[in-house]
Amino acid sequence: MQLYPAIDLKDGQCVRLKQGEFKEITVYSQKPEEVAALWQSQGATFLHLVDLDGALAGRSVNDKVIKKIADTVSIPIEIGGGIRSEEAIESMLSLGVTRVIIGTKAVENPEFIRDMVKKFGPDRIVAGVDAKDGMVAVEGWEKISGISASELCNRMKEYGVRHIVYTDISRDGMLSGPNVEYTRRLTEETGMDIIASGGMSSMEDLRQLSHAGVCGAIIGKALYEKRIDLKEAIKAFEKQDHQGRI
């Protein structure tokens, strides 16, 4: 199971929110590139970035910091938040990002994702499926759409998407444990590379996701609050999986 340390960006800083609420904000570092370097030094093999300002503005806002992070680390990076046009995708890739996560646009205009997968390939484009009570939320989680998470995942699969970042909003930043059952269901129903996000709080949570056959897990607050030791987690889940496959 691939582990993704999360770095959420707001006003150029590394922060965490609770359930996506901008008034529930904790600043962890003024220098996100140093946080990225720390996670890499602890064995991270992939980073997950979110441009929170971008998610609300509908366009990328923290480009300078994103470039700084990409220049600082040598591991792949994925980023989401406000990426809603072909130009925005190209701009992110040119900053040194490995793959981009499309959320709102995937709901409002699914054909856009199909075209972008054709143009950039399925390993550059990830669909972000953010759900509350099984229904997809858009525009920085400010609006709930009329489409279910499983419906959107299946539509994305038809359009050639391979990777899905699935976030359970009610658990995000709450350290309450991920929605293992629903994530397992999405993985089994779609056969896609589902990356779980929201609520990761302990090694046991990661163990449950791993046993459920989930392909990836994003860890945010639990790392910053020192509830999960990244080195240990990588040894237990990434390394073990790789050895198991050999």
β-strand partners of 5:
219
- Whether 63 is a known active-site residue: answer no
DSSP for 79-143, written as a single string: EESS--SHHHHHHHHHTT-SEEEE-HHHHH-HHHHHHHHHHH-TTTEEEEEEEETTEEEETTTTE
Q: For residue 24, give both structure tokens.
A: 């529930």
CA distance 147 to 109: 12
Out of 53, 130, 168, 193, which one is annotated catalytic?
A: 130
- 8 belongs to the catalytic site: yes
The owner of tokens 């390394």 is: 239
- 94 contacts: CB under 8 Å, gap ≥ 6: none
Tokens 């591991």 identify what position?
A: 75
Pairing of strands 47-51, 2-10: parallel
Burial profile 105-115: b = 16 or more Cβ within 10 angstroms, e = fewer: bbbeebebbbe
Instruction: Return the structure tokens found at 94.
Output: 């040119």
193: enclosing H helix or E strand: strand 193-197
Q: Contact at 8 Å (CB) between 219 and 3?
A: yes
- State the catalytic residues: 8, 130
